[in-house]
DNA sequence: ACTGCTATTAGTACCAGGTATTAAGTTCTT
DNA sequence: AAGAACTTAATACCTGGTACTAATAGCAGT
């Protein structure tokens, strides 16, 4: 055997993961085995044929566009009492971090908090006008951030004060005081 | 003729644009014409076969992932003097706005400003620790936001104060005072 | 009504990139 | 040397097409 089966299959998996568009024929050349062997390997590894793989990538992309448009909240909302409190969860993934050091970018944590604060407001139109925020600890790739938002004050002028605190485990990693405008057309978020 | 050719081709184009995964057979049923007619139509309209269409969607998606990972800065940096000042431009597109009212989400403007402030710092590791921000006017779909960042103070303790103001035309839409930490391992952004 | 033209449909051969199955080597091990 | 694991071969068949040829339908103009 040129290269042990297990090793070949490991590499095969990796190769296809990195390039889902590759055909059996090219794989067979790359690994210097017959095309049938490649197909047996794919079977054992439950890797579908190239067209299915491409289709999968493509449909993921369509989903992405939709979910991005739909998700008015960044992170998953797991609790919401309008005009009272809300909680969302965000798992920190590759696209959220600086590639150099795998630390989450500040605006990701801000985005989670901000969209949660906005979602909390029981109104057609809610926009952030002001925020004081503080990042109190680095958040790393793979960590789960739980953001908790709470309405502090409902003012008569249409503004609402919301405070958000985000935790990894029991450590506070982010806190912010937001002022949210509702229904108006003059201010911004 | 059930429906004039031109009209059918217009609808065909539209249908395929909306669902690139649709096969000739289903199209022929939908338009109540033979499969050959659909193929002639596709020819005339230069629409490739379903597999090519899917492949196209899929490869676009891969590009997307790459470009997202690469963009350490949200918006295009057009000027940068390290530890002094920087300017970036962001065109507000569909994915940046609330679908209901086409107003840019707050965290998009924050992201532009934050990543500009971080990029401005001449150091391996730069993280936001604190920010006071204000959204002074709504930004709408299609508008171009120019963010200008300026270093205010370089402290000896490793912190730097940066102020960012973002404009649409000559109107200020966002302003923020950021405190950026450099080189440390304790604080966050 | 016949001609001419476009539009539509049918039919056939062929292709890529597979699946599925059966059978025949090849190694490796013991 | 025998058995098991692994690899290759061969063949039939599938989907969703391309490419090409030919037949047919529908209608307009004269």
What digits encode the pLDDT tens for the residues A72-90? Answer: 567 888 888 899 999 999 9
Q: Is the pLDDT of residue A2 over 80?
A: no
Which A residues 8-27 have CB within 7 Å of strand D?
Answer: 8
- CA-nearest of A88, A93, A65, A64 to A76 is A88
CA distance B108 to B90: 10
Low-confidence ranges of chain B (pLDDT < 50): 67-70, 184-189
pLDDT at B68: 47
CA distance B7 to A147: 52
pLDDT at A133: 97
Can you list the domains of chain A with their CATH numbers?
A: 5-68 (1.10.10.10), 76-182 (3.10.129.10)
pLDDT at A169: 93
Residue B126: strand, helix, or coil: strand
Helix (H) or strand (E) holding B132: strand B126-135
- CA-nearest of B145, B188, B183 to B164 is B145
CB atoms B115 and A107 under 8 Å: yes
Q: How far is CA B89 from the centre of its chain?
A: 12
| % of chain A residues with pLDDT over 90 | 65
Cβ density class B109-133: b for 16+ within 10 Å, e for less: bbbbbbbbbbbbbebebbbbbbbbb
Instruction: Kindly report the nearest CA distance between residue A23 and chain B, in angstroms.
Output: 13
Reading phi first (left if > 0) and then psi (alpha if -120 to 50, else beta), residue B183 is in left
CB distance A132 to B132 below 8 Å: yes
| Residue range B100-148, pLDDT digits in tens | 789 998 999 999 999 999 989 978 789 999 999 999 999 999 999 999 9
pLDDT at B186: 42
Q: Is the pLDDT of residue A124 over 80?
A: no
pLDDT at B32: 93
Nucleotides of C under 7 A from a protein CB: 7-11, 17-21, 27-28
Q: Is the pLDDT of residue A3 over 90?
A: no
CA distance B176 to A148: 23
Q: What is the interface size between A and B, counted as CB pairs within 8 Å?
A: 167
| Residue range A20-38, pLDDT digits in tens | 999 999 999 999 999 999 9
Mean of all residue pLDDT scores within chain A: 87
Report which residue is nearest nucleotide C18 when distances run from CA to C1'. Answer: A49
pLDDT at A68: 45
CB distance B147 to B75 below 8 Å: yes
Q: Is the pLDDT of residue A67 over 50?
A: no
Handedness of CA A90, A96, A98, A102 (dihedral sign): positive
Report which residue is nearest nucleotide D5 when distances run from CA to C1'. Answer: A5
End-to-end CA distance of chain B: 65
- B110 CA from C28 C1′ (Å): 64
């Amino acid at each position: 055997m040129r290269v042990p089966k297990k090793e070949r299959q490991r590499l095969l998996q990796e190769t296809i993961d990195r390039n889902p568009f590759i055909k059996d024929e090219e794989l067979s050349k790359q690994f210097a085995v017959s095309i049938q062997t490649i197909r047996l390997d794919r079977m054992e590894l439950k890797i579908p044929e190239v067209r299915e793989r491409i289709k999968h990538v493509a449909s993921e992309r369509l989903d992405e566009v939709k979910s991005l448009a739909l998700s008015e909240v960044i992170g998953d909302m797991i609790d919401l009492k309008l005009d009272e409190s809300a909680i969302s969860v965000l798992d920190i993934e590759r696209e959220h971090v600086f590639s150099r050091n795998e630390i989450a970018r500040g605006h990701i944590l801000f985005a989670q908090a901000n969209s949660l604060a906005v979602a909390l407001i029981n109104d057609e139109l809610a926009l952030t006008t002001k925020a004081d925020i503080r990042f109190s600890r680095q958040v790393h790739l793979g960590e789960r951030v739980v953001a908790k938002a709470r309405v502090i004050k409902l003012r008569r002028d249409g503004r609402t004060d919301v405070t958000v605190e985000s935790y990894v485990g029991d450590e506070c990693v982010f806190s912010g005081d937001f002022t949210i405008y509702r229904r108006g057309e003059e201010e911004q978020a």
